[in-house]
């Protein structure tokens, strides 16, 4: 009777626990969604930054024209006159997901606009990512760790920074796909079920569709398989988890047009094929070992080794010759810059110029993952007690992502889920031990008072201690002195403790593999639990602050607080709206590549270069034009059919990311392709200056003139608030361009190319005429201008 009652109460407790955990997960999803809404509340429901505008434009096209036109879309309104094959060069996962959600909502008669769906895609998928983290950590350690990890991931600032409402970028969906793929891989590894292996391949397909970072998965999983084989953990479940994934995964990756045949031909995938061969060899070896006697097995190995090594040497030689024949050894530029951090700055200045590709600073680790930075080592230790396939995977994932996050600040995002999993495990283990200690002491106390056990028991419980646990970081500091003192006492008392625990019928709440319950003193446990809760509270506080203050800026609308209230700078949209309403549909606009996506999406005009940066020479052309004097720049722009030139200027209001600050990259990239642009011409004492000390070339280049034209009229002295000095050349006229629009705070300035004069007045008429007729032919004029 008592046992069934106990069973009934335990099943009721299980049911209650199940309902509670579902409710908690729902709340975690709500938190993940709401913490990302600060930008919508503080500013408006608008798409942020630059890249999301391209994704938004593609989603608009998809929703208007359907999927077949989307696959075959050739965009002629960008990279004029080259155009861009959108269907073959974009990762379709994000746009297809948002398009599907929009279609679904509209078919249910919920009239959401495409913009609303795009803005809120990221928060919805971050809720899904939190749930996927719960599933993954549950497979690694248990449901308690799962819930903790999910709660931590919902709020981690590094993930928030790339998935706020309005940040409609690939990572919004890709991180969910990453965690979900890893979950299915671990699930297959734990259960050995081919059904989950199929699901794993499909989830990997979704990841390939979404982000170029899928190469991380297809290299991490083979690394883990190799680790398992080398540490003697080969099992048939490992084969079932890995082999179908490679075959199906490669096929599915080849289906996505962006990847195509790269799935079998680039070095990023060779690791998976190599481990595929290795796992087959290992499987065969284990099989033969099973059916032969040991002596014969030795004979077999010697025979196979002699033959095998000869064959291997030949194959490896062929492979090395193939790979070495390509200059980048088969790797793409981005992947090479990850493996060799100095590669990009030497060979590809465009990759080096993107601020997201710089290595992170130490404070950014604390800003982005906060408390997790020191919970992670505790988690690593917890993963080793006991070590399973899944926990070894978690450790490997963490170590590799820490390395990559050290190379590129953008990849802190890949570190975030790993750090959350580890911290969840650490916190859950810590809470487990502490609550177990408290429960043990409290039940002991009640047992003593009820059963009237001898007083000796009571004394020994109050002074008992246990072997110190290494995975107590925070609590370590509070109980180290007590533990050190009591270690000697513990040795003697451990035997007594075993008897006591058996007598007290205390069932430890720990995992099934526990040898004996490890308990800590009651006061230490209570203080530690309280401190851990305070730690969690500080983490939440930091995350909410980071989400509200640091990561919610849409960067297309700027605000500043002055003594007379809040000031809003909406200059970008003002300029794009002007372009949209005051120019012809087919007019071409030239600007630096940062603004290309926004111009095509909001102003709906053709641009010369945009953020895709796939053609370095084209960007170098625009950079050279910006660095050349007016006449040469006019020639270049005229050859590209450009009508309007757009520059961003922050000198009046103090906006630091304007084109003058980006000018050094224009010179470097332009100089990389056209040798007549020499960086030394623009430097004075090794610095870029625009004041009276600046070089002649700098003061005459197009960027200077277009930024500072009529600037002296604002305050009479031409004081640049960003560079913090007065400009060099104050009064000048533009000969080949005319100003057509300057926004309210002078942040965006638009100029029009003046048409060529019909007749030239002045003494040099004859020579000008002569040179004009030769310039109309395709012969070279001066070597300075390569376009004629």
Partner 1 sequence: MAKGTNDAKLLIQSLRKAYAATPTSLKIIDLYVVYAVATALIQVAYMAMVGSFPFNSFLSGVLSCVGTAVLAVCLRIQVNKDNKEFKDLPPERAFADFVLCNLVLHLVIMNFLG
Instruction: Give the x-and-dash track for 276-315 against partner 1 (CB under 8 A).
Output: -------x----x-xxxx--x--xx--x------------
CA distance 123 to 121: 6
Residues 183-212 contacting partner 1, CB under 8 A: 192-195, 197-198, 201-202
* Shortest Å distance, C-beta 651 to partner 1: 54
DSSP helix/strand/coil, 85: strand
The residue from 84, 237, 357, 705 that contacts partner 1 (CB under 8 A) is: 237
| Buried/exposed code over 463-472 (b: 16+ C-beta within 10 A; e: otherwise) | ebbbebbebb
Cis status, amide bond into 65, omega within 30 of 0: no
CA distance 328 to 607: 31
Q: Does 167 bind partner 1 (CB under 8 A)?
A: no
**By C-beta, is 238 or 620 nearer to partner 1?**
238
* Shortest Å distance, C-beta 240 to partner 1: 5
Residue 288: CA count within 13 A, CB half-sphere: 13
The residue from 255, 307, 316, 318 that contacts partner 1 (CB under 8 A) is: 255
CA distance 676 to 380: 55
The residue from 112, 226, 243, 258 that contacts partner 1 (CB under 8 A) is: 243
The residue from 89, 231, 235, 687 that contacts partner 1 (CB under 8 A) is: 235
* Shortest Å distance, C-beta 276 to partner 1: 9
Q: Does 251 bind partner 1 (CB under 8 A)?
A: yes
**By C-beta, is 81 or 260 nearer to partner 1?**
260
* Phi, psi torsion values for 235, nearest 5 degrees: -145, 165
**By C-beta, is 109 or 306 nearer to partner 1?**
306
- Asked whether 40 and 166 are in contact (CB, 8 A), the reply is yes
CA distance 616 to 618: 5
CA distance 696 to 707: 16
- Asked whether 749 and 741 are in contact (CB, 8 A), the reply is yes
Residues 542-561 contacting partner 1, CB under 8 A: none
**By C-beta, is 296 or 489 nearer to partner 1?**
296
* Shortest Å distance, C-beta 282 to partner 1: 13
Q: Does 254 bind partner 1 (CB under 8 A)?
A: yes
- Asked whether 563 and 734 are in contact (CB, 8 A), the reply is no
- Asked whether 593 and 665 are in contact (CB, 8 A), the reply is no
* Shortest Å distance, C-beta 234 to partner 1: 12
CA distance 336 to 342: 9
* Shortest Å distance, C-beta 706 to partner 1: 49
**By C-beta, is 217 or 701 nearer to partner 1?**
217
* Shortest Å distance, C-beta 280 to partner 1: 9
Residues 718-777 contacting partner 1, CB under 8 A: none
* Shortest Å distance, C-beta 335 to partner 1: 22
- Asked whether 468 and 487 are in contact (CB, 8 A), the reply is yes
* Shortest Å distance, C-beta 251 to partner 1: 5
* Shortest Å distance, C-beta 256 to partner 1: 11
Given phi > 0 = left and psi -120 to 50 = alpha, else beta, which region is 320? Answer: alpha
**By C-beta, is 299 or 324 nearer to partner 1?**
299
CA distance 128 to 148: 15
* Shortest Å distance, C-beta 226 to partner 1: 18
DSSP β-bridge partners for residue 558:
569
**By C-beta, is 147 or 189 nearer to partner 1?**
189
The residue from 68, 107, 232, 261 that contacts partner 1 (CB under 8 A) is: 261
Q: Does 455 bind partner 1 (CB under 8 A)?
A: no
- Asked whether 480 and 521 are in contact (CB, 8 A), the reply is no
**By C-beta, is 105 or 304 nearer to partner 1?**
304
**By C-beta, is 293 or 758 nearer to partner 1?**
293
CA distance 494 to 626: 79
**By C-beta, is 238 or 553 nearer to partner 1?**
238
- Asked whether 267 and 339 are in contact (CB, 8 A), the reply is no
**By C-beta, is 300 or 740 nearer to partner 1?**
300
- Residues touching partner 1: how many (CB under 8 A)? 34
**By C-beta, is 283 or 351 nearer to partner 1?**
283
Strand order in the sheet with 748-753: 606-607, 588-590, 644-648, 748-753, 737-742
**By C-beta, is 189 or 645 nearer to partner 1?**
189
Q: Which residues contact 340 (CB under 8 A, 6 or more apart)?
A: none
Q: Which residues contact 665 (CB under 8 A, 6 or more apart)?
A: 349, 353, 623
> Among the candidate windows 109-117, 146-154, 246-254, 645-653, which touches partner 1 by CB under 8 A?
246-254
The residue whose two tokens read 């990389």 is 672
- The greatest distance separating any two alpha carbons of the chain, rounded to the nearest whole angstrom, comes to 121
> Among the candidate windows 251-259, 342-350, 550-558, 606-614, which touches partner 1 by CB under 8 A?
251-259
**By C-beta, is 255 or 769 nearer to partner 1?**
255
Distances (CA, A) of 481 to 477, 484, 519, 524, 756: 8, 5, 16, 11, 86
* Shortest Å distance, C-beta 321 to partner 1: 18
Q: Which residues contact 566 (CB under 8 A, 6 or more apart)?
A: 559, 560
Residues that bind partner 1 (CB under 8 A): 192-195, 197-198, 201-202, 235-237, 239-240, 243-244, 247-248, 250-252, 254-255, 261, 264, 283, 288, 290-293, 296, 299-300, 303
């Amino acid at each position: 009777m008592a046992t069934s009652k106990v069973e009934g109460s335990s099943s009721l407790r299980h049911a209650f626990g199940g309902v509670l955990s579902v409710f908690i997960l729902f709340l975690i999803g709500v938190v993940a969604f709401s913490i990302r809404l600060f930008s919508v509340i503080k500013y408006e429901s608008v798409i942020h930054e630059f890249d999301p505008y391209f994704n938004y434009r593609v989603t608009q096209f998809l929703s208007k024209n359907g999927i077949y036109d989307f696959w075959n879309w050739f965009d002629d309104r960008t990279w004029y006159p080259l155009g861009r094959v959108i269907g073959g060069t974009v990762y379709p996962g994000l746009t297809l997901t948002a398009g599907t959600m929009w279609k679904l909502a509209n078919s249910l008669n919920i009239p959401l606009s495409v913009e609303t769906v795009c803005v809120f895609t990221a928060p919805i998928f971050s809720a899904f990512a939190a749930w996927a983290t719960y599933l993954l950590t549950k497979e690694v350690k248990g449901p308690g760790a799962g819930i903790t990890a999910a709660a931590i991931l919902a709020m981690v600032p590094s993930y928030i920074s790339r998935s706020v409402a309005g940040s409609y970028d690939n990572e919004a969906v890709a991180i969910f796909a990453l965690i979900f793929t890893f979950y299915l891989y671990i699930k297959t590894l734990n259960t050995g079920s081919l059904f989950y292996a199929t699901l794993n391949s499909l989830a990997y397909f979704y990841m390939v569709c979404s982000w170029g970072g899928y190469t991380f998965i297809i290299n991490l999983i083979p690394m883990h398989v190799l680790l398992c084989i080398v540490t003697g953990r080969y099992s048939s479940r490992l084969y079932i988890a890995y082999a179908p994934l490679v075959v199906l995964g490669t096929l599915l990756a080849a289906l996505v047009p962006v990847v195509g045949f790269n799935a079998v031909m680039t070095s990023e995938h060779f690791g998976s094929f190599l481990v595929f061969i290795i796992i087959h060899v290992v499987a065969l070896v284990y099989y033969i070992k099973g059916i032969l006697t040991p002596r014969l097995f030795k004979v077999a190995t010697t025979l196979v080794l002699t033959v095998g090594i000869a064959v291997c040497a030949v194959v490896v030689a062929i492979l090395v010759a193939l790979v070495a024949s390509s200059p980048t050894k088969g790797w793409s530029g981005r992947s090479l810059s990850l493996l060799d951090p100095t590669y990009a700055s030497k060979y590809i200045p465009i990759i080096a110029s993107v601020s997201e590709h710089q290595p992170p600073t130490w404070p950014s680790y604390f800003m982005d993952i906060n408390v997790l930075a020191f919970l992670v080592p505790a988690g690593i230790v917890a993963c080793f007690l006991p070590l399973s396939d899944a926990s070894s995977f978690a450790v490997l994932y963490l170590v590799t992502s820490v390395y990559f996050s050290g190379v590129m600040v953008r990849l802190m995002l890949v570190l975030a889920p790993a750090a959350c999993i580890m911290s969840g495990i650490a916190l859950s283990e810590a809470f487990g031990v502490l609550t177990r200690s408290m429960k043990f002491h409290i039940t002991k106390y009640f047992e003593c008072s009820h059963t009237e056990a001898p007083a000796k028991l009571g004394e020994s419980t109050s002074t008992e201690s246990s072997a110190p646990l290494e995975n107590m970081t925070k609590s370590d500091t509070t109980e180290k002195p007590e533990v050190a003192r009591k270690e000697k006492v513990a040795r003697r008392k451990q035997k007594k403790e075993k008897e006591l625990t058996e007598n007290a019928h205390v069932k430890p709440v720990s995992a099934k593999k526990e040898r004996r319950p490890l308990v800590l003193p009651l006061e230490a446990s209570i203080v530690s639990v309280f401190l851990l809760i305070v730690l969690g509270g500080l983490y939440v506080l930091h995350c909410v602050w980071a989400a509200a203050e640091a990561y919610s800026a849409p960067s297309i609308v700027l605000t500043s607080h002055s003594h007379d209230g809040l000031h809003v700078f909406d200059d970008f949209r003002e300029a794009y709206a002007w372009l949209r309403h005051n120019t012809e549909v087919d007019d071409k606009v030239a600007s630096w590549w940062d603004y290309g996506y926004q111009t095509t999406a909001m102003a709906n005009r053709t641009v010369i270069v945009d953020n895709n940066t796939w053609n370095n020479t084209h960007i170098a052309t625009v950079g050279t034009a910006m660095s050349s004097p007016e006449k040469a720049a006019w020639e270049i722009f005229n050859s590209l059919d450009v009508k309007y030139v757009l520059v961003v200027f922050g000198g009046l209001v103090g906006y630091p990311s304007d084109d003058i600050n980006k000018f050094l990259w224009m010179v470097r990239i332009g100089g990389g392709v056209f040798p007549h642009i020499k960086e030394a011409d623009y430097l004075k004492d090794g610095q870029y200056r625009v004041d009276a000390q600046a070089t002649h070339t700098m003061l005459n280049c197009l960027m200077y003139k277009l930024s500072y034209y009529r600037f002296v009229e604002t305050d009479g002295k031409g004081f640049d608030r960003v560079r913090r000095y007065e400009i060099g050349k104050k009064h000048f006229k533009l000969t080949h361009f005319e100003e057509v629009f300057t926004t309210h705070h002078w942040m965006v300035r638009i100029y029009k190319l003046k048409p060529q004069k019909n007749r030239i007045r002045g003494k040099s008429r004859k020579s000008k005429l002569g040179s004009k007729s030769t310039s109309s032919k395709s012969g070279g004029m001066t070597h300075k201008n390569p376009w004629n």
